[in-house]
Chain A
Amino acid sequence: MSILEIKNLHATVETPEGTKEILKGVDLTIRSGETHAIMGPNGSGKSTLAYAIAGHPKYEITGGEVTLDGEDVLEMSVDERARAGLFLAMQYPVEVPGVTVSNFLRTAKTAIDGEAPSLRTWVKDVKGAMDDLKMDPVFAERNVNEGFSGGEKKRHEILQMQLLKPGIAILDETDSGLDVDALRIVSEGINRAKQETEVGVMLITHYTRILQYVKPDYVHVFVGGRIAEQGGPELAERLEAEGYDRFLVEA
């Protein structure tokens, strides 16, 4: 059972024009098994929220708190956060030349668990998860994200979520740029992870399309660096019909 609590979170970023506040008091609680959709227009700070929680050095936390099961996340280094059970599926996963997917996955799994996985079950787990995500076995011998298509990168992110079994997963625009087939495969992967591990999911998206495949328990509208409105799945339907204009005017 995990619980991620975000209270009145403020964060800034340095830009050529000076320090800019992106997060302006975010309040959000996510528990195991829950799926929260964070929806908002471009530039509203959704991705910043994801990266700030994961500990990207680019963002400075200027106020508020983030705890995971009561532990102060903001005091942890990036890798400590991951080992505590946080996972960030990135919108733009980074290439790591010369490091194979298989080496990367095993290294990450060993770091998260604190011990190397049993070889026999690990090979089986990786192969099974890759099969589920319709990933060719040769994928494991390619370098991390190098020459991957957009869809391959996203599947690779979800593969990691399935194998690393985080308590709370933040999925940053995992649906962006995917065709329907790829979206379905990725969504099935998310649903499988939810089923198998009770992971709590923060699903950050610009579009409502993925919500046809991954059913949210809660929907939050994110505008101007904070949550402007929240509700159940019906809020997503309303956004689908009305767009973000209503919130943009208020912001």
Chain B
Amino acid sequence: MTTTDVKGAENAGDPSANEAVGHAAGAAPVAAQTALDDVETTAAPELEEENLTLPGQDSPATAALHRGARKRSFEVSDHEVPRSDVEEWRFTPLRRFAPLFEDVATDDREGDPAVDYQVTVPEGAPEAKTLAIGEAPRGTVLVPEDLTTALASARTEQALHLVAAKNAAYETPFRVDITGRGADRRGNAHLVLETEESSSAIFVLNHTGSAQYAQNVEIIAGDNSQMTVISVHDWDDDALHIATHHARVGRDAKLKHVAVTLGGSGVRLNSIGEYAAPGGEIEKLGLYFSDEDQFFENRLFVDHSAPHCTSNVAYKGALQGRKARSVWVGDVLIRKEAEGTNTYELNRNLVLTEGARADSVPNLEIETGEIEGAGHAAATGRFDDEQLFYLRARGIPEIEARRLVVRGFFAEIIQQIDVPEIRERLSAAIEDELARSMN
């Protein structure tokens, strides 16, 4: 059984939602191509595009999508300063992020680091260690694909290395509290998070304060391990942050990666996942809430490089206020050797006020017909009038009804975060954000 279809609207009764939904399983590219031509692109202020490339197709329009072929190098000089005419950067406000394209050292001063790190390891876990440039496993998974990532790598002499020991399971998370100590101060960082064979651990990276922060997070999930990485970006309003998270998942290992962005002037996360062997599972969850003048970008790449692996991506964002911006680009590549792949990615955005804009682009590249399933969905909508009417027709005042809808919108993501403290903090943060716009 092979089916391929792409449909324009998931819910015809809901004119407020613009849906782009695609599915592909097996090889039936001809029908897909025809259907795809009929998909209407949507008008501003929200934008969804979708790109589906199937075996045997190659056109100038899709060539840019060959994400897996992107150049990787530790050499800073191998990377150009980002330009807006390059696909990778076309949504990003480059002027705002300009400080992070400069080759400068971390702005540490005597007794006054640019960025403060508080590291907590669970009881019984190995102490935090460091890795020099070139010292494995540092650099075995994350090889820079862009200038800022190369700078962060080159400018970090000692990378923090946290390890969950073989066969160990920890009750509490590894935790790194990262506090920026000045919006005009540069911080460069490289972190290596590792779960050894058959271990089970949660890693929390918690970002607050302000900085100009170039950060690499190298994630190594050993064979048969269970790893959760939760990165919370709760910066002050003037912080800039460009991060690359690059994960490799071992045989039968499972990685749950959670990216939460609530604060900062500009936060751009490039989150890459790949598989070292069959049986791996990657789940990428994300939540963002962009306010006035905030720019949050999430770029994801799941590289299905081994057979019988699964990936599931679900990101949800809300936007409110003038010039609140979000960008979500989800690339999934199913390589020729990745038979039996099962993948789905979803992005939903809720635009709460006028003047905000969300861009959402799922890209699916399939090089083999022998897959179990591949699909994606992206949608940006305003408040659903029918939902609000239904709640209000039960006596619930409009403000309360809106709160219920937004809370409900995020609940699906929040419920999947395994750390109660973070769940509660996110729920509270969302209440705060809503109080700001609705009272």
A residues touching B (Cβ–Cβ < 8 Å)?
54-57, 77-79, 81-83, 87-88, 90, 92-99, 103-104, 107-108, 111-112, 143, 160, 164
B interface majority secondary structure: helix
Q: Which residues of B contact A108 (CB under 8 A)?
A: 391, 394-396
Q: Is B2 an interface residue (CB 8 A)?
A: no
Residue pair B411, A98 in contact (C-beta under 8 Å): yes
Residue pair A96, B404 in contact (C-beta under 8 Å): yes
Residue pair B395, A164 in contact (C-beta under 8 Å): yes
Q: Is B400 an interface residue (CB 8 A)?
A: yes
Residue pair A82, B386 in contact (C-beta under 8 Å): no
Residue in B387, B389, B400 whose CB lies within 8 Å of A56: B389
Lowest 6 A-B CB distances belong to which pairs?
Answer: A98-B408, A98-B411, A82-B395, A108-B394, A111-B395, A78-B392
| Given A57-B389, A111-B400: A96 in contact with B395 (beta carbons within 8 A) | no
| Given A56-B389, A96-B390: A79 in contact with B395 (beta carbons within 8 A) | yes
| Given A98-B412, A107-B396, A111-B397: A78 in contact with B389 (beta carbons within 8 A) | yes
Given A99-B408, A104-B391, 5 additional A-B pairs, CB 8 A: A78-B392, A79-B397, A82-B396, A99-B407, A107-B400
* Binary flags per residue of B214-239, CB closer than 8 Å to A gives 1, else 0: 00000000000000000000000000
Query: Separation in Å of the A142 CB from the closest CB of chain B?
Result: 12
Residue pair B389, A97 in contact (C-beta under 8 Å): no
Query: Separation in Å of the B426 CB from the closest CB of chain A?
Result: 13
Residue pair B390, A90 in contact (C-beta under 8 Å): yes
Q: Which residues of A contact B409 (CB under 8 A)?
A: 97-98
Residue pair B387, A94 in contact (C-beta under 8 Å): yes
Query: Separation in Å of the B414 CB from the closest CB of chain A?
Result: 9
- What is the bound-complex CA distance between A57 and B392, given in angstroms? 12
Kindly report which residue of chain A lies nearest to residue B13, judged by CB atoms.
A92
Query: Separation in Å of the B388 CB from the closest CB of chain A?
Result: 8
Residue pair B395, A143 in contact (C-beta under 8 Å): no
Q: Within B361-410, which residues are at the interface with A (CB < 8 Å)?
A: 384-387, 389-398, 400-401, 404-405, 407-410
Kindly report which residue of chain B lies nearest to residue A84, judged by CB atoms.
B395
Residue pair B395, A112 in contact (C-beta under 8 Å): yes
- What is the bound-complex CA distance between A57 and B390, given in angstroms? 12
- How many residues of B are in contact with the other chain, CB < 8 A? 25
- What is the bound-complex CA distance between A225 and B151, given in angstroms? 71
Kindly report which residue of chain A lies nearest to residue B398, judged by CB atoms.
A79
Q: Which residues of B contact A56 (CB under 8 A)?
A: 389
User: For A56, A83, A92, A98, which residue has the most chain B Cβ atoms within 10 angstroms?
Assistant: A98
- What is the bound-complex CA distance between A78 and B393, given in angstroms? 6
Q: Which residues of A contact B407 (CB under 8 A)?
A: 98-99
- What is the bound-complex CA distance between A82 and B404, given in angstroms? 18
Q: Which residues of B contact A92 (CB under 8 A)?
A: 13
Q: Which residues of A contact B396 (CB under 8 A)?
A: 79, 82, 107-108, 111
Offer 6 A-B interface pairs, CB within 8 angstroms, sorted by A.
A78-B393, A90-B393, A96-B387, A96-B408, A97-B411, A107-B400
- What is the bound-complex CA distance between A12 and B401, given in angstroms? 26
Query: Separation in Å of the B63 CB from the closest CB of chain A?
Result: 38
Residue pair B386, A94 in contact (C-beta under 8 Å): yes
Query: Separation in Å of the A222 CB from the closest CB of chain B?
Result: 21
Q: Which residues of B contact A143 (CB under 8 A)?
A: 408
Residue pair B408, A97 in contact (C-beta under 8 Å): yes
| Given A57-B385, A111-B397: A79 in contact with B392 (beta carbons within 8 A) | yes
Query: Separation in Å of the A64 CB from the closest CB of chain B?
Result: 21
- What is the bound-complex CA distance between A110 and B244, given in angstroms? 47
User: For A55, A57, A78, A103, which residue has the most chain B Cβ atoms within 10 angstroms?
Assistant: A78
Q: Which residues of B contact A83 (CB under 8 A)?
A: 395
Residue pair B411, A164 in contact (C-beta under 8 Å): no
Q: Which residues of A contact B393 (CB under 8 A)?
A: 54-55, 78-79, 81-82, 87-88, 90
Query: Separation in Å of the A72 CB from the closest CB of chain B?
Result: 18
Q: Which residues of A contact B395 (CB under 8 A)?
A: 79, 82-83, 108, 111-112, 164
- What is the bound-complex CA distance between A107 and B384, given in angstroms? 19
- What is the bound-complex CA distance between A83 and B410, given in angstroms? 28
Q: Which residues of A contact B389 (CB under 8 A)?
A: 56-57, 78, 94
| Given A57-B385, A79-B397, A79-B398: A96 in contact with B391 (beta carbons within 8 A) | yes
User: For B389, B394, B395, which residue has the most chain A Cβ atoms within 10 angstroms?
Assistant: B395
Residue in A77, A96, A164 whose CB lies within 8 Å of B405: A96
Kindly report which residue of chain B lies nearest to residue A143, judged by CB atoms.
B408
Kindly report which residue of chain A lies nearest to residue B397, judged by CB atoms.
A79
Q: Which residues of A contact B392 (CB under 8 A)?
A: 77-79, 82
Residue pair B412, A111 in contact (C-beta under 8 Å): no
Residue pair B404, A164 in contact (C-beta under 8 Å): no
Query: Separation in Å of the A226 CB from the closest CB of chain B?
Result: 24
Query: Separation in Å of the B110 CB from the closest CB of chain A?
Result: 50
* Binary flags per residue of B65-78, CB closer than 8 Å to A gives 1, else 0: 00000000000000
